[in-house]
Structure 1
Amino acid sequence: MNLITPPEHPFAQFVRILGKGKRGARNMTREEAREAMGMLLDGEVEDTQLGAFLMLLRHKEENAEELAGFTEAFRQRNPAPSIAVDLDWPSYAGKKRHLPWYLLAAKALADSGIRILMHGGGAHTAGRLYTEQLLDLLDIPLCQDWNQVEAALRERQLAFIPLGAWAPQLQRMIDLRNTLGLRSPIHSLARILNPLGARCGLQSIFHPGYQAEHRDASGLLGDHAMVIKGEGGEIEVNPDTACHLYGTTDGQAWDEEWPALSALRHVKPETLDASQLAAVWRGECEDGYGQLAVRATMALALRGLGMAREQAFVEADRLWAARKVSS
C-alpha cells in the first residue's frame, strides 16, 4: 500500500508561529504578518484556521511590526480613493459609562470646515451605545460607499461609513466576537487602517501597553497618527483624568501629558439618555462632564492637526461657540 502524507495547508505555518508553546511561539515578522493577512483577506484559509489565528494572536498580543504588516496587506488590496480628509476617526468600542460626547466634538469640528471620516464595526456588545445608533439623532450622514462619503464630506465635512461597506472581510472577522467569546485583534487593526489617507489618524486603544504599539505601527507605515486611551475605548478625552498622547509625525514618535480638566470626578450617570446629546448641542441644557469632554476632545483633534495644546483649547472654545446649533 502506498501511503501519501497529505500536504500541509499553506496557512498552517502562521498558526504554528503563534501557537508553538511557551518556548516555541514567537512574534511574526512584518513580512509574515503581511502574507498572513493577505491570505485572510483573499479567503485562502479555513474557518478553523481563522479562529485559531485570531485567538492565538489575541493571547500573544499583536506588536507594531505585525500591525504594520497587516495594514500593508489591506492597503495593497484596497488602495485609498482620492478623497481629501483631515481626520480619520475610527469608532469601534461603544460607550457604557458615559454618553458618546465625542460625536458632538466631531460635529463642531466639521462645522468649522475640518473634514472628518468616521467608521465603525457595528453594535456588537450588549449594553453599549454605538455611533451607528445615533447618526439619525445627531444628523450625521450615513454612507454606504465612497461616492456617498465624498458627497457628504463636500457638503457636510463629516461622514460615517460602516466597516462592512469598505472592508467586508474584516467585518466578518469582527462578527466572530460572539462565536469566539472574545474580541479579536481586528478591532484594533480597524483603528489603524486610515482608509482615505487622512492628514491625521486618531486612535483610541483602551488596554494599557497597546497605545505605544499602535503609535509605533503608524510610524512604521509613515502615517501621522495620535493615540490615546480614550474613555470607554472611543476617541474621547476623559476630563476627570490625565490624558497621555502618543504621537508620530514624519516617522518621529512623541509623547505629551495633558492634566485632568476637573479637580473632582463627576458622578457617572445612572442611565445613558442619548437625547441629552442633542439638547446640549442645541444649547437647551448643560452637562458639566459632557461639555468638558467635548472641549478636550476637540482640542485633541486640533493638536493632531498640528496646533499647540494651549492654542488648541482656545480654538476648541471658539469653534464650539460658533457651531451650527440647527444641525
Structure 2
Amino acid sequence: MENTDIKKTAEPLQAARFIKEIGRGKNGARSMSREDAQLLYSAMLEGRVSDLEMGGILLAMRIKGESTDEIAGFMAAAENQMQQLTAPANSRYAPVVIPTYNGARKKANLTPLLALLLARRGVPVLVHGVLRDAGRVATAEIFEALQHPLAQSVSEAKAQMAAGLPAFIAIDVLSPAMTRLLAMRRILGVRNSTHTLVKILQPFKQAALRLTSYTHPEYATMLQHYFSEVSPHARGDAFLMRGTEGETVANTGRAQQIDWFHQGQCTTLVHTHQTILGDLPDSPDEKDAAVTAAWIQAVLRGEIPVPASIAEQVEHCVLVAKMLLEREKGG
C-alpha cells in the first residue's frame, strides 16, 4: 500500500450533531459510539470537515477527553489512511514499533539507543514520529547526527529492517492525513486526539510489539482499558509505561513501571522503583543531538555500559518479540 493520497469524498460532513454531544464541557459532554467516532474521524482525515467545525471538535475532545470506544473508532479510521508494512520474512522476531513524538527537553533523548540495541539483537525495529519539534531534540535529529538515513518511503523502511537496521519513518510518510491533524497544534496551541493515536499505531500487517507511553494518569487508565478490553488482539502486543519526557525509552534516573498487554491480559514486567538512580556517571552532558549521538556511539562500541534500565527494557522486548513470532507461525 504505497499510495499516500488522502481519500476524498465530495460530500462534506455536517459535524454539528457530533459537536453538540462532545462540546458540553467536561461534565456535561457525552462520548460518541465507536461507529460515530470512526465516521467523524474519517471525515476529518479526508478533509471533509470545515475549519470552524474542526477547531470546535478538537477543542471539545481536548476538554472532554477520549473514551476507549472513541479511540477505537478513531483508530479504525486512521488505519484506513495509513500505509502498512510487512516484516522481514527471515526474521526470528516480530517487529517492535517505537513511536517518537516528544523528543528531549531536559535530558538526552535515548530512543535511538533503544532502537539500535534492539536491531543489534536481530529484532526488526520501526521508529515513527516527527522530524522536528520546537524546543526539543527529536529522535530524527539524533539519527541524522549518527548518519543513519531516514526512510523516505515504506519500501526504504522495509529494506533497512531487512538489512538489520532500525528504520525511522516520518509520520508525514506513514500517514499524511494524520500529519495534517497533528499540525493543528500550531494553530490551536494544544494537543489533540491525534497525538494520542500516533503513539499507539500498529503499522504492520503481521503481529508486532508496540511500545507505548502516557504522560497524564487519566491516559494510563484509558489505555489500560483499550489494550485489555477494546483492542486486545490488534495484531500483537503492547508495552505501556509512563513516558520519559513523553518517549517510550526507559528512564535512566528512575525505573518506571512497564505493563505488558498480551491477549487481553496485563502483566507488570517492571515495577516502579522509588529509588532515584541519579545521573549516569558518563551520561551525555547536554541534550544536543550531536552530543547525544556521540555518547550513543560510545555505548555501542562498549566504551560506556548500557544503562541498566534500558538493558532490562531491551531484554523484555526481545523475549516478547520472539514469542509473538512463534505464536503467529504456530497459528
In the superposition, the TM-score normalised over structure 1's length comes to 0.81
Q: Report Cα offsets for 1:206-238 as digits up to 9, x if no partner.
A: 122212322332342323111111210001111
Tell me how far apart the structure 2 counterparts of residues 29 and 306 of structure 1 sit (CA, whole Å).
36
Give CA-to-partner distance per residue, 1:233-290, whole Å, 9 cap, x none. 00111133241223321122333442439654338977324324323423579668x7
Is 1:231 paired with 2:244?
yes
Partner of 2:32: 28
Residue equivalent to 1:88: 97
Who is 1:316 aligned against?
none
- CA deviation profile, 1:25-59 (whole Å, cap 9, x unmatched): 11122122111111112221001111211121111
CA distance in 1, matches of 2:309, 2:26: 43
Structure 2 counterparts to residues 24-103 of structure 1, below 5 A:
24-78=28-82, 80-84=84-88, 86-103=95-112
Counterpart for residue 305 of structure 1: 321
1:149-168 matches, within 5 Å, as 149-168=157-176
Cα-Cα RMSD: 2.7
In the TM superposition, residue 142 of structure 1 has moved relative to its aligned partner by: 0.7
Q: Does 1:217 align with 2:226?
A: yes
Contact between 2:211 and 2:248, CA under 8 Å: does it hold in 1?
yes
Q: What secondary structure does 1:55 align onto?
A: helix
2:98–2:210 contact (8 Å) kept in structure 1? yes
Task: State the match for 2:9 in structure 1.
Answer: none
Please tell me whether the aligned partners of residues 141 and 158 of structure 1 are also in contact (alpha carbons under 8 angstroms): no
Within the candidate set 265, 284, 291, 2:307 is matched to: 291
> Is the CA contact (8 Å cut-off) linking 2:13 and 2:43 kept in structure 1?
no
Q: What's the CA shift for 1:301? A: 2.7
Which structure 1 segments of 5+ residues have no match? Answer: 1-7, 308-327
Are the structure 2 counterparts of residues 79 and 251 from structure 1 closer, same or farther at C-alpha, using a change threshold of 3 Å?
farther
Cα distance, 1:24–1:272 mapped onto 2, change above 3 Å = closer
1:154-207 Cα deviation digits (max 9, x unpaired): 113310111011211111111121210112221111011211245211112112
Match of 2:267 among 254, 264, 283: 254
TM-score, normalised relative to structure 2: 0.80
1:111-150 CA distance string (max 9 Å, x none): 12100100002323x3211011112222433112111111
Provide the residue aligned with 1:10 in structure 2: 14
1:202 counterpart (211, 216, 240): 211
Structure 2: which 5+ runs fail to align? 1-11, 89-93, 324-331
Give the match for residue 244 of structure 1: 257
The 1:276/1:253 distance shift into structure 2, 3 A limit, reads closer
Letter in 1 for 2:293: L
CA distance in 2, matches of 1:79, 1:104: 26
The 1:271/1:108 distance shift into structure 2, 3 A limit, reads closer
Q: Secondary structure at the match of 2:132?
A: coil
Letter in structure 2 aligned against 1:292: A
Number of aligned pairs? 298
1:124-143 matched pairs, under 5 angstroms = 124=133, 126-143=134-151
Deviations 1:279-323 (A, max 9, x none): 3423579668x723532442453364378xxxxxxxxxxxxxxxx
Q: Hey, what's the Cα distance between the residues in 1 that align with 2:319 and 2:274?
A: 16
d(CA) in 2 for partners of 1:22, 1:232: 26
